[in-house]
Amino acid sequence: MSSRQNSSITTRNIVTVAILASLGGSLSTFVGYLGNLVNLSLGVPFGAGQFMAGLHVFWLILIRAIVAKRGTGTMGGLLKGLVELFTGSTHGIVIVAVSVVQGFLVDMGAEVAGNPHDSGTASRLVWWLSAGIAAASNVFVLQAFYFSGAHWILLTVIATLAFSSGVIFAGYFAWETLEFLKDSRVLSNSFSSTRPPTASRRRVTYRNIPAIALVIFIIVGSFYYTVAVAQIFSDPYSCTVTGLVENPYTYSPQAFVGQEVTVQAELQGANIHLDPANYTGILLSTILEAAVPMAETTGVRIMARDGYTILLDLDEVMTDTHLLLTEAEDGLWLVAGNYDGALWIRMVTTLEVY
């Protein structure tokens, strides 16, 4: 019957995904409660609750393992997210994005790992690792929405906690659950064939267009976010010199050894004042000269990792002997001795000539 519409997904498959997504969504409150209990038992207000992150992915792994069909992880993630949205998740529609990404990662892992029912140790390991990665992904999706500028060490710690939770609860525990379901014979008739019926090439291509579009969107989005927005993998002691210059390059203090200058400067802010101190680094004029600004340029835009941006007049920059980039504990600092304290910038990432 239903095979006329879609040769690979049966009505039973759809019902299984829907029911497990519904159960997972309805138990999310209980999982949240357990997370709060873990927080309380450790005496921390938040964060430790990520130790329960794997329990959200547990359902997606279960869906993908029971309905061993391509895309059911993502479908389950979308449904579970929508169920949580409609039951009043405190993250609103963001929970749908979190859940879809988790489901997609579970699908990706399943593609690599293969059939969960007759898998060996290596395959099982891939399943468990993909469960961990899917659980950790929630940290990065939430970071993109709510925690812009979070330090990568903090993110790594929380993501590691979530990853461990994923391996334990969505990996080990999910497999234990599958074994239990097999033993209790609940699954005996529910397992679907691992070899989907053949379909025409054109039909398969057409069917996969949304998945291909999603993959492209995620890859392009991740690339854009990593390169243009987050810059989390860039060396904190380097910055990009770009814009209207003939020789764009990545500045690194090691390339300017012997050209350091030491200036005495004091931070004079509107509300705060820091005593004069000596700062050693490379003058901004030296750094920009190496890039060879074009003739028509008038200014330089200086950007920091947290998104803070200032504009300076290029002519003034090129003649300023108290404007330099120095190395500090968290990256490159712009020391602007002749300017207001608001123009002293931490964690400089980009110098753009315009």
Contact 147, 33 (CB under 8 A): no
Contact 322, 333 (CB under 8 A): no
Q: Please state the closest distance from residue 165 (CB atom) to other proteins, in A.
A: 10
Q: Please state the closest distance from residue 323 (CB atom) to other proteins, in A.
A: 16
Q: Please state the closest distance from residue 209 (CB atom) to other proteins, in A.
A: 12
Q: For other proteins, which is the closer residue by CB, 12 or 290? A: 12
Contact 297, 313 (CB under 8 A): no
Return d(Cα 220, Cα 218) in angstroms, integer. 6
- Any idea what the Cα angle at residue 202 is, between residues 199 and 205, rounded to 5°? 90
Q: For other proteins, which is the closer residue by CB, 55 or 314? A: 55
Return d(Cα 33, Cα 82) in angstroms, integer. 20
Q: For other proteins, which is the closer residue by CB, 88 or 120? A: 88
Q: Please state the closest distance from residue 257 (CB atom) to other proteins, in A.
A: 27
Q: For other proteins, which is the closer residue by CB, 66 or 291? A: 66
Q: Please state the closest distance from residue 173 (CB atom) to other proteins, in A.
A: 6
Return d(Cα 247, Cα 201) in angstroms, integer. 49
HSE toward the beta carbon, residue 11, CA cutoff 13 A = 4
Q: For other proteins, which is the closer residue by CB, 172 or 249? A: 172
Q: Please state the closest distance from residue 227 (CB atom) to other proteins, in A.
A: 17
Q: For other proteins, which is the closer residue by CB, 147 or 256? A: 147
Q: For other proteins, which is the closer residue by CB, 177 or 240? A: 177
Q: Please state the closest distance from residue 337 (CB atom) to other proteins, in A.
A: 16
Interacting residues of 340 by C-beta distance below 8 A, sequence separation 6+? 268, 269, 270
Interacting residues of 50 by C-beta distance below 8 A, sequence separation 6+? 35, 139, 158, 161, 162, 165
Largest distance between two CA atoms of the chain:
82
Q: For other proteins, which is the closer residue by CB, 223 or 255? A: 223
Contacts by 293-299 with C-beta closer than 8 Å and gap 24+? Answer: 293/244, 293/245, 293/246, 293/353, 294/244, 294/245, 294/246, 294/353, 296/244, 297/243, 297/244, 297/245, 297/353, 297/354, 298/354, 299/353, 299/354
Return d(Cα 77, Cα 25) in angstroms, integer. 10
CA distances from 221 to 214, 218, 228, 233 (A): 10, 5, 10, 16
Q: Please state the closest distance from residue 113 (CB atom) to other proteins, in A.
A: 22
Q: Please state the closest distance from residue 289 (CB atom) to other proteins, in A.
A: 25
Q: For other proteins, which is the closer residue by CB, 110 or 304? A: 304
